[in-house]
Amino acid sequence: MTSVVDRPRRAAARFWIVGLLGWLLSQPASALAPIQSWTTDTGVRVLLVSTPDLPIVDVRVVFDAGAARDGDTPGLARFTSGLLFDGAGTLDAQAVASGFERLGAQYGASAERDMAVVSLRSLADEPLLGSAIDLLSTVLTEPQFPEAAVARGRRQLQVALAQEREQPAQIASRAFYQAAYRSHPYASWPNGEPDALALLTREAAQRFHGRYYVARNAVVALVGDLDRAAAQALVQRLIGQLPAGEPAPALGPVLPLADGVSERLRHPSAQTHIVLGGPVLTRDDPDYFPLVVGNHVLGGSGLVSRVSNVIREQRGLAYSAYSYFMPMRQEGPFVMGLQTRGDQAGEAIALLRQTLDEFIAEGPSDEELEAAQRNLTGGFPLRLDSNREIVEYLAMMGFYRLPLDWLDRYVARVSAVTAEQVQDAFARRVDPERLVLIQVGGDRAVGGQ
Amino acid sequence: MIRILGALLLAAVSLRPAVATPDPADTHEQTLGNGLKVIVREDHRAPVVVTQVWYKVGSSYEPGGLTGASHVLEHMMFKGTERLAPNEFSRIIAENGGEENAFTGTDYTAYFQTLAADRLEVSFRLEADRMRNLRLDGAEFAKEIEVVKEERRLRTDDNPKALLYEQFNAVAYLAHPYRNPVIGWEDDLDTLTVDDLKTWYARWYQPANATVVVVGDVEPQKVFALARRHFGGLSGDPVPPPKRQMEPPQRGQRRLELKAPAEVPYLLMGYHVPSATADAEAWEPYALEVLAGVLDGGNSARLARELQRGQEVAASVGAGYRAFQRAPGLFLLEGTPARGHTVEELEKALLEQIGTLAREPVSAEELERVKAQVVAADVFQRDSVFYQAMRIGLLETIGGGWRVGEDYVRRIRAVTAEQVQQVVLRYLGEDKLTVGVLRPQPGALPPRRPAVIPGGRHDIGG
């Protein structure tokens, strides 16, 4: 299964981020303490779950400020997010970092396509928690984007973009999103483009922050050792100073692919990285449960899924072979993927296609569907067994405006899916003639260099 | 995984000032008649239980020619027993709503399942079965070894930094088997046979060589009763520990270079240092942990402050140390030079940081920051039943026992600035250093991607 291969601590940990992320975003969680929710007077939506067992508080502030908001400045959302902690109020980057770290607090900022997330984990004890919240408030409301940090950020990004070119997985993902999303904002590569770095300026970051890091574009998720009254006070302290602003405008829908696309990119790697898929699933999609439960049978449940069985267990063609849906605000991708020795790529693609065709034509067997439902419903408590997981679900639910009973209804809705519904949903929503196929690498013969 | 483990171990161990301490009384252990050790920790926050079975075998147990055997055997543990068909193990866990996997390191091979707490017996029944009754079928092996070779290509061969790290270890260690890659050398995988694995399994997969760790919403006495029922009847032989293999003292710097199709150079530096279970004065590993925190415990720590921001000689930079392994390890420094700087300049800047640490004690403020982080992380890690089990399993498996973990925060808090300086002077000398450099091959990578070609299912090529 997986091996722990020794690495220096800071070297990239390469487990299945893609699959894992798809799984996280598609799999909900367990019976938990009640979710409380309210909207502040400036328009921030707040979701809270009180878990008094450990003296910890987790906070996630989510803005509709992901790479889908890059506009004509590729990389701007992630660039802005990456600079938030590099100077705020009267504090420089060193003072901000040491402010959190002397408290033992953990903090960070990230931006994917839909969401920009700022997170904090602190001990619940005072004055530790209050000090960390005050500092985070300064970071959110008064980032300075100092010229020196902006210039350094651009130079570091240049290095990161060069490193992407070493990695067939990154090259394949970038090519997939460009081909699948074309002129839609989801085509913007979150890390940006090497020839557009000059656009990443202090003014651009300030403008982006001013437009999108505002109350009416924000959701706060809180989990931990605090009750509603304490949470309300804490939220006020955290985002009371955030201007109300405006919500981000609605993103346009993704146009369906008119035809299939096949692209093959050279790379001197031993393996060919294969990605096959297209835009399909929104967070509030009426086909959400048939597609996600169906995908559990197809390629979403590790070794016991059809894709893994055909590619890995029966033929030993790949270490990782999977499929997932990544539901997003607009049509997020359905992706099938694997990596295999270059001379096996053709065989693997044919098998991947055949597995998908059969699944669309016949749907799951009753036994397969039942097994998937037993795994998803029986495993429900596992998905919410830590504060960290709960806060991620709350942030997701708040961001996508899912009803507060979404988790409570999850088991019943998974159980209600029928094989006919799965087959029907896949047949309507996944057209095997209109998918994007990306192949990268496999140019180096194994045994040679 | 290792990165998580590193954080876990830094975080790992306990002592709490202001906040509630995990009560060691919540952790219980029993050894069965056949030598199997069972450790149970109660955590009733969620109706969930994690089971982990740790075997004292990993890549550092492997002789020349057999590297990767422990990890391939880990894969084969899912391929059927006398009672179960290949992959039936995984299917049963999945149908019970569980998650499962396994991992192999230098010092251990471990298997885990996470289940609703009332399903604990499912994992005990299955783990007891494959502890002694693995089938190791030749046809299944023939397929699975290909899967492992693909895993090696993915993780190592097509990853220039990982390739450098693999060869770096083989240079830093002349004799000690920490030089072995966990996944195995490519040619060793080519020559490995199912009979090799049968021998390996028979030797190491014994009740007396295993630890079962259970953390979650369980009652210890019921878990012990269940363990006796499922594991108690397993027969086994005593397992003599592996022969000691000491690394000869290093007498001068070692250097290596790796050429690979890459865009960006990369630097890896390592010094031989003691581990928490090795034969060293007890405070040293804890001083080395603090040293790693002084250098790399966040964005305010020295490497980020001086090398990423101040001199801006590094685009990324880090330091790493693992106190908890069964033999002495390495204190690692690594980084990518910033644009306009060379790997040689980065190396010089890192050596200057070590020089400063040798000359001047770290400040009280830095020491307090590292200790605050360790105290907090110790509470944070209790949010995960899985990491709690990891910590217990690892400490049992490398020797010393899980109680070492309960003492970690206290021992970190006892570290002084003088002790940090002393470990730098004692171990981070230039004659104890190995330096590895990734040299990108210019022109090895193709130019940026061309435009999208429409074409349905037809393969256009390129």
Task: State the CATH number of the domain containing residue A165.
Answer: 3.30.830.10
- The backbone torsions φ and ψ at residue B158, rounded to the nearest 5 degrees and listed phi first, read -95, 15
Residues 6+ apart with CB under 8 A from A87: A93, A96, A143, A144, A145, A146, A149
Give residues 39 to 58 of A whose Cβ lies within 8 Å of B: 51, 53-56
Same domain, A233 and A286: no
Is the residue at A244 inside a domain? no
- The DSSP code sequence of B88-150 is HHHHHHHHTT-EEEEEE-SS-EEEEEEEEGGGHHHHHHHHHHHHH-B---HHHHHHHHHHHHH
Contact residues for A439 (Cβ-Cβ < 8 A; gap 6+): A172, A262, A263, A264, A265, A272, A273, A274, A345, A349, B459
Query: Which of B154, B165, B295 is the mutation pick for testing A, counting most A CBs within 10 A?
Result: B154
Reported ipTM: the value is 0.91
A271–B154 CB contact, under 8 Å? yes
User: A382 and chain B: CB distance < 8 Å anywhere?
Assistant: yes
**Domain-embedded: residue A160:** yes
Weakly modelled stretches of chain A, pLDDT under 70: 1-32, 447-449
Give me the pLDDT at residue B278, please: 55
Chain A residues whose CB is inside 8 A of the B181 CB are 5-6
Q: Which chain B residue's Cα is nearest to A97?
A: B300
The length of chain B, given as a count of residues = 462
Same domain? A76 vs A124: yes
Nearest CA in chain A to B340: A155
Q: What pLDDT was estimated at residue A30?
A: 44
Point out the residue among A4, A30, A163 whose CB comes nearest to the CB of B182: A4
Question: Tokens standing for B21?
Answer: 């301490």
Q: Which of B59, B158, B322 to mutate to test the interface with A (most CBs of A within 10 A)?
A: B158
Structure tokens at A263: 């692209």
> B-contacting residues of A 20-39, CB under 8 Å?
30
Q: Do A234 and A272 fall into the same domain?
A: no
Name residue B112's beta-bridge partners.
B52, B101
* Closest-CA residue to A118 (of A104, A135, A131): A135
Residues near B310 by Cβ (< 8 Å), separated by ≥ 6? none
How many beta-carbon contacts under 8 Å exist across A and B? 332
Task: Tell me if B102 and A2 make a contact (CB, 8 A cut-off).
Answer: yes
Interface contact A367, partner B, CB < 8 A:
no
A312 shares contact with chain B (CB less than 8 Å): yes
Please compute, for residue B284, the number of CA atoms within 13 A of its CA located in the half-sphere on the CB side: 21
* Contact yes or no for B87 and A105 at CB 8 A: no
Burial of B126 (0-12, 13-18, 19+ CB in 10 A): buried
- Residue where one domain finishes, among candidates A209, A239, A269: A239
Which residue, among A102, A107, A123, A98, has the nearest Cα to B369 in the 3D structure? A102
Among residues 293-332 of chain B, which lie with CB inside 8 Å of chain A?
296-301, 304-305, 308-309, 312, 315-321, 332
- Report yes or no on A134 lying in a domain: yes
- Within this chain, do residues A295 and A397 fall inside the same structural domain, yes or no? yes
Per the CB < 8 A criterion, the answer to whether B41 and B57 are in contact is no
pTM of the model: 0.92
> What domain count does chain A have?
2
Contacts of A346 (CB under 8 A, 6+ apart): B459
Answer whether A161's CB lies under 8 Å from B448's CB. Answer: no
Extended beta strands in B388-449, E state: 433-440
Q: Which of A2, A9, A171, A390 is best to mutate for the B interface (most B CBs within 10 A)?
A: A9
Interatomic CA distance for residues A262 and B149, integer angstroms: 27
Per-residue CA distances from A84 to A91, A153, A193, A213 (Å): 12, 11, 21, 11
Position A57 in a domain: yes
Residues B99, A379: C-beta atoms closer than 8 Å: yes
Tell me, yes or no, whether A286 and A223 share the same domain.
no
The residue from B29, B62, B74, B144 that is catalytic is B74
Beta strands in A309-434, from DSSP E residues, in sequence order? 321-325, 332-341
Q: Domain check: are A321 and A288 in the same one?
A: yes
Give me the domain span that covers residue A413.
261-448
Domain check: are A62 and A205 in the same one? yes
Instruction: Enumerate helices (H) and strands (E) in chain B, giving the number of each.
Output: 17, 11
Q: Whole-angstrom Cα distance, residue A421 to residue B280?
A: 64
Position B445 scores a pLDDT of: 80
The alpha carbon of residue A166 and the mean position of all alpha carbons in its chain are separated, in whole angstroms, by 23
A36 and A116 co-located in one domain: yes
Position A1 in a domain: no
- Contact of A306 with chain B, judged by CB distance below 8 Å, is answered with no
Look at residue B433 in the predicted model and tell me its pLDDT: 98
Q: What domains does chain B contain, in order, with CATH numbers?
A: 18-239 (3.30.830.10), 254-441 (3.30.830.10)
Instruction: Give A351-369 as a 3 state SS string.
Output: HHHHHHHHHHHHCCCHHHH
Backbone dihedral angles phi then psi of residue A254, each to the nearest 5 degrees: -85, 130
Q: A318 CB near a chain B CB, below 8 Å?
A: yes
**Per-residue 3-state assignment (H helix, E strand, C coil) for B193-249:** CHHHHHHHHHHHCCHHHEEEEEEECCCHHHHHHHHHHHHCCCCCCCCCCCCCCCCCC
User: A268 to chain B: which residues are within 8 Å by CB?
Assistant: 261, 444-446
Instruction: Mark whether B74 is an active-site residue.
Output: yes
**Partners of B197 in beta bridges:** none
In a domain, A253, yes or no: no
Decide if A6 is inside a domain: no
What the block records as the tokens of B43 is 């955590």
User: Is A10 within a domain?
Assistant: no
Are A223 and A292 within one domain? no
Q: Which positions in chain B touch A309 (Cβ < 8 Å)?
A: 87
Spacing of C-alpha B293 from chain mean position: 18
**Residue where a domain terminates, one of A208, A239, A270:** A239
Which regions of A253-359 does DSSP assign to beta strands (E)? 261-265, 271-281, 321-325, 332-341
Tokens of A71: 């506009």
Characterise B259 by phi-psi region: left (phi > 0), alpha (psi -120 to 50), beta (else): beta
Name residues 262-291 of chain B within 8 A of A (Cβ).
Answer: 262-264, 268
Does residue A205 sit in the same domain as residue A322?
A: no
* Contact by Cβ (8 Å): A303, A319: no
Strands B254-260 and B210-216: unpaired
**pLDDT score, position B446:** 76
- Residue of A268, A395, A257 lying closest to A342 (CA atoms): A268
Question: Phi and psi for B347 in degrees, rounded to 5?
Answer: -60, -45
* Helix (H) or strand (E) run with residue B358 in it: helix B343-359
Which tokens belong to A78? Answer: 């992630």
Last residue of one domain, picked from the residues A175, A207, A239? A239
Is residue A372 within 8 A of residue A299, CB to CB? The reply is no
Do residues A231 and A282 both lie within one domain?
A: no
Number of H helices and E strands in chain A, helices first, is 15, 13
Query: What's the pLDDT at B22?
Result: 54
CA distance B416 to B426: 15
> How far is C-alpha B428 from the geometric centre of its chain's CA atoms?
23
Would you call A165 an interface residue with chain B, using a CB distance cutoff of 8 Å?
Answer: yes
Report yes or no: A357 and A432 within 8 Å, Cβ to Cβ: yes
Distance between CA atoms of residues A395 and A60, nearest Å = 7
Quote the CA–CA distance of B205 and B302 in Å, as a whole number.
45
| Per-residue model confidence (pLDDT) at position B281 | 62
Task: Give the distance, in angstroms, between the CA of residue B398 and the centroid of all CA atoms in the same chain.
Answer: 11
Please indicate, yes or no, whether residues A231 and A335 belong to a single structural domain of this protein. Answer: no
From residue B191, how far is each of A154, A270, B64, B69, B187 by CA, in Å? Answer: 48, 20, 12, 11, 6
Return the pLDDT at B10: 30
pLDDT in tens, chain B (462 residues): 233 333 333 322 222 233 444 566 699 999 999 999 999 999 999 999 999 999 999 999 999 999 999 999 999 999 999 999 999 999 999 999 999 999 999 999 999 999 999 999 999 999 999 999 999 999 999 999 999 999 999 999 999 999 999 999 999 999 999 999 999 999 999 999 999 999 999 999 999 999 999 999 999 999 999 999 999 999 999 999 899 999 999 999 999 999 999 999 999 999 999 999 755 568 999 999 999 999 999 999 999 999 999 999 999 999 999 999 999 999 999 999 999 999 999 999 999 999 999 999 999 999 999 999 999 999 999 999 999 999 999 999 998 899 999 889 999 999 999 999 999 999 999 999 999 999 999 777 876 654 343 333 443 333
